[in-house]
Chain A
Amino acid sequence: MANTQHATTQHYYVPSSTIWPFIGSVGLALLVLGIIRMLNQQGGTILLFMGIATLIYMLYGWFGEVIRESESRTYTRWEDRSFRIGMSWFIFSEVMFFAAFFGALFYARHLSVPWLGGAGEEANTHEWLWNSFSAVWPTNGPANVGGSFEAMPAWGLPTLNTIILLTSGVTVTWAHHSLKIGNRQNLIYGLAMTVALGFLFVGLQMIEYSHAYHEMNLTLKSGIYGSTFYLLTGFHGMHVTLGAIMLTVILVRSMKGHFTASNHFGFEAAAWYWHFVDVVWLILFVFVYWL
């Protein structure tokens, strides 16, 4: 058992009181209140920006504190293990978040759309309500919601994006390797390339969206295809952005000389997250674009 490694006298660092989480809660509350008011068409933009600003301030303060502690060797392997467990299960929770949307995609493709088209148990549905509809994927449903549209082909930008993300997975691993053998120069190169590739991905994704909206009439309103397409790729894109920001912070820290060959959990956490985002993309590429 891992526990037997540390003696009874070992000390676990329990931080003293902190205001950051509370500020974080205020920030979250302002943020969602802003969005709520915007959705209700009661303004809200100011609240939204106040929320974002508060959250940035909080992250800056909170992580600043953690980084200071980390750099002053406050953490031992014991605390480090807590962070690892925490980060792993956080990523797991993100996986489950995406699972909800993939679930919706599979449900629509294998159940609801065929039913509407007259297959299986729900044959009455087709007969009585939608008898001119034939089920094919992609579809915007029997009511042709949002008007006819073109589906996003897999070969083209999405393939390029796949290559970009896969490459970024390699560069971040290279950076990690360099860190472990103490080659800081390559660490920084590797990270910088990863971040650049990440933002490039997001940029291309924006171009793809703009193309979809303006030339293909593929919008959020394009029935179930548009819905699953945009929510899956959209949330993925948001996660890429977040991951890239995390890696940027790590890059800046690396340039400041943070991390050692044996102690660099912050780096690893960001890298794990990056790999997670990568894997989600692969699944997405297969099921949203390709098949």
Chain B
Amino acid sequence: MRITPSILARQAVAHINQNADAINESLERLGTGRRIRRASDDPTGTVLALRLQSDIALTDGDRRRVEQALPYLQAMDAALNQAIAILQRARELVLQASNDSLTTDQRKAIAEEMTTLRDEFLQVANTRVGDRYLFSGTAILTKPFVANLAGDVVYQGDGNQMKVTLSNDEQVPITLAGNAVFQSGEDVFAVLKDAINAMKAGDGETLRANLLPRLDASIQQILNTAASLGAQANRSERTVDTLLLQKQSFQLALSPVLDADVAEEVATYQLRQTTLQATLFAASRILPLSLVDFMA
């Protein structure tokens, strides 16, 4: 083949460009720290990266929300345990009061303590975290239990539960429907009211035969709720750990897709630089060669 200077020049320019382009790419990757600078660098990797980035964001959001839910679960747990303690004290008082040999003054004193316990119980049932009542279902800003003039406690909330939804549709309840806890099966407030009335009336028989079993049933009812709530709290605490692990594994998967391998880039950069230098050297030696220089 006839080789003309323009063929040599074209060849030299093409190779210089190729190497300069590769160096430019390496530099850009090193500068941005990213393997994928534009979607077309790696179409499949881009789709994967978008998926993983969104997964990481969702996992982060879920973890934040479960962490926000945990105080509610803990507060509900504490409130229910306090309610059980109050009812257990009430049971002792009912037992004491059912003794027929008590004096009227003694009964009155017991009835007074019982009244205090009922008020305490009402307070516990109206526990709030921040602005939210824990036992009014989804009517979180409404005080759930209010005593009317007749001394009956009326439920103001609704029968639903406020729930935190995670991205995998798992739901963590952060309130309870108070009527289901305190007024289904046994109406605990009615039990307490009846007990006070029976104490005042000195009706030991009713206290023994009627109120004691009802009080036991009330305690059992709240214990059941507390147990399932405790299980939920444990589960949610584990969920936080799981979500943290998940995020880490997503990040581990994302890194090789999106992040530049610095060591590899530096090696490529150096290799290409050497090649470019060689090309430039060859071009500078060969291109100026001409017969013209040797003609007298």
Q: Do A and B bind each other?
A: no
Using a CB–CB cutoff of 8 Å, the interface residues on chain B facing chain A are: none
